[in-house]
Amino acid sequence: MKLLEPGTEVDGFVVRECIHAGGMAHIYAVEYASRARDPGFPLAMKIPRMTAGDGAENIVSFEVELQILPALSGPHVPRFVAAGDLLHLPYIVMEYVHGQTLQHWLDLPERPDAARIAQLGAAMALAAHSLHQQNCCHLDLKPGNVLIKPDGGAVLLDFGLSCHAHYPDLLAEEMRKAVGSPAWIAPEQVVGVRGDLRSDIFAIGVMLYELATGELPFGAPTTQGGLRQRLWMTPPPPRAHRPDLPEWLQEIILRCLEAEAANRYPSAAHLAFDLANPGQVAITERGQRTQGPSLGKHLKRWVKAAGMHYQPSPLPKNQIEQAPIVMVAVPHEDVQDATLYSLREAVARSLGIRPGARLACVTVLSPSASSTSDSERSETTLHRMHLARLKQWAQPLPLAGHSVSYHVLEAGDVGQALVRYAEGNRVGLMILGAATHGLQLQRFIDTVPIRVARDAPCTVILVKQQLPFNQLQGHASGE
């Protein structure tokens, strides 16, 4: 259909200028004809292209977005406002979000530094995680569909190729080929597997690679054979293009780009965590590479990919719950060995039933603890001492298959610090010691554990000291 003229009225909306003319839709700035209906934020109207030369996927994608967008909420998606009749004029009116797409950073003459790449990547990962928590996978993440707001947060756009676990997958029903943008599509999408949250992690990895190097890791293939190469091919390491990149960033990027979804991050929250804590990223052979795998290794991967049977993925929310970020609050003063032992046992049990879960060991210092002028008790020295204590406490834990990191926070309000840490890092499970005042007294005292359990955005396990520790000590001494 032809472009709408400014001033055209559609179902009570007045069309202003066309702000985007894409291959699948036109997007216009609009506003309500009646000021009484002003929602308090700017609006955009999306109208699919439906000329004779446009493919059926245009209208199917529009139906998908019309189905999914109203079901999503939160700061990482535009707010849905209204929709038009498919038989008359199909359109979606949504919030118009101000910001710059990721393409802005790709178009800059110089590549961003590692810190900026990590900030952009973490914003994308947190936005994707918000979708996954709502059982939705975007499946078409690319620079033009990621909007970075002035405050640094990311908003994801265009849900025409998305998949929501609670709604029919119209694209899977209508299309008989891989659905996605060739440069960013994940290997499992190439063979028709949709709905795996790790496909979005792969797409974020492609964007991080391009931000870091200015190159696309798999190019922009135009044939099915070209697309299938990513089922077995490993791209050149980013540091081969840009030697100044830190190993931790290459480790993160290449983990996102693993051909097998099981070898990527288990959730976007894990990815965001690593990007926010680069100093604690475990560097493997991936991060140290300066050249790609040999021809022999590629041949082995090709043979493996040729015989691989791709399984349907778990629901996004279930996948997140299976591999959460587990946070344990380890006290550092007025604490008995029995309490520390009980905490460690609780953590071991939690990790044992959650393969792939990440562990964050956290302790909170009061500001007064690091304010002394004694150089031997300086803030840096004090933090190092408590980091060493956390690592010593965690040493007996069965950590094989689990990432672990250690964090010393400083705050006057311990409970608030723990809750904020859990919120900022999308913690799924928090473990901390129960207060020792007794249950009866806690009715009248607002203890740290009670406040954390009340305010935390995740499941909280309070661990009581119930071990016969005196007897254990007695047995250890031979009594």
| Kind and range of the H or E run holding 453 | helix 448-455
Same domain, 292 and 212: yes
Same domain, 125 and 185: yes
**Are the C-beta atoms of 361 and 394 separated by less than 8 Å?**
yes
Same domain, 137 and 270: yes
In a domain, 279, yes or no: yes
Which of 16, 18, 14 is CA-nearest to residue 6? 16
In a domain, 31, yes or no: yes
| Integer Cα distance of 157 and 76 in angstroms | 9
Computed over every residue of the chain, the mean pLDDT equals 88
Same domain, 151 and 299: yes
Same domain, 374 and 391: yes
Q: Which pLDDT belongs to residue 158?
A: 95
Tell me which residue range forms the domain holding 415: 324-476
* Lowest-pLDDT choice from 9-13, 172-176, 439-443: 439-443
Does the pLDDT at position 52 exceed 80? no
Instruction: Residue 82: give its domain's CATH number.
Output: 3.30.200.20
Dig out the tokens for 16 from the structure: 């202003």
In a domain, 286, yes or no: yes
Same domain, 112 and 75: no
In a domain, 363, yes or no: yes
The 3 state secondary structure assigned to 378-406 is: CHHHHHHHHHHHHHHHHCCCCCCCCCEEE
| Integer Cα distance of 161 and 62 in angstroms | 9
In a domain, 3, yes or no: no
Same domain, 348 and 255: no
Q: Which pLDDT belongs to residue 312?
A: 72
Which of 157, 118, 261 is CA-nearest to residue 199? 261
pLDDT tens, position by position, 290-322: 887 777 777 787 777 776 777 777 899 999 999
Q: Which pLDDT belongs to residue 301?
A: 77
Walk across the sheet containing 9-10 and list its strands: 9-10, 13-21, 25-32, 43-48, 92-95, 80-83
**Are the C-beta atoms of 67 and 167 separated by less than 8 Å?**
yes
Q: What angle do CA 22, 24, 28 make, to 5 degrees?
A: 55
Beta-strand relationship, 429-433 and 459-463: parallel
* Lowest-pLDDT choice from 90-104, 163-177, 372-386: 372-386
Decide: helix, strand or coil at residue 181: coil
Does the pLDDT at position 212 exceed 70? yes
Same domain, 107 and 217: yes
DSSP code of residue 262: G
Token pair 């931000």 in the structure block, residue: 211
Same domain, 89 and 40: yes
C-alpha neighbours within 13 Å on the C-beta side of residue 323: 23
**What pairs with residue 236 in β-bridges?**
none
In a domain, 35, yes or no: yes
| Kind and range of the H or E run holding 117 | helix 114-133
Q: Which pLDDT belongs to residue 182?
A: 92
433 Cβ neighbours under 8 A, 6+ residues apart: 329, 331, 335, 339, 342, 343, 449, 462, 463, 464, 465
Same domain, 342 and 292: no
Total number of domains in the chain? 3
Domain boundary among 270, 286, 319: 319
Instruction: Residue 371: give its domain's CATH number.
Output: 3.40.50.620
Does the pLDDT at position 478 exceed 50? no
Same domain, 291 and 354: no
Domain boundary among 66, 95, 124: 95
The torsion of the CA quartet 50, 55, 57, 59, rounded to 10 degrees, works out to 20
DSSP code of residue 456: -
pLDDT tens, position by position, 372-383: 455 445 668 888
pTM of structure: 0.91
Same domain, 369 and 435: yes
The torsion of the CA quartet 316, 318, 321, 323, rounded to 10 degrees, works out to -70
pLDDT tens, position by position, 234-252: 899 999 999 999 999 999 9
In a domain, 2, yes or no: no
Name, of 229-233, 308-312, 432-436, 463-467, the range with top average pLDDT: 229-233
Domain boundary among 258, 285, 319: 319
Instruction: Residue 247: give its domain's CATH number.
Output: 1.10.510.10
113 Cβ neighbours under 8 A, 6+ residues apart: none
Indicate the angle between helix axes 268-276 and 247-256, nearest 10 degrees.
Answer: 170
Distances (CA, A) of 207 to 180, 257, 332, 454: 15, 10, 41, 38
Dig out the tokens for 111 from the structure: 């590549």
In a domain, 181, yes or no: yes
Distances (CA, A) of 265 to 44, 247, 251, 270, 341: 34, 17, 11, 6, 30
**Are the C-beta atoms of 203 and 141 separated by less than 8 Å?**
yes
pLDDT tens, position by position, 98-157: 999 999 999 999 999 999 999 999 999 999 999 999 999 999 999 999 999 999 999 999
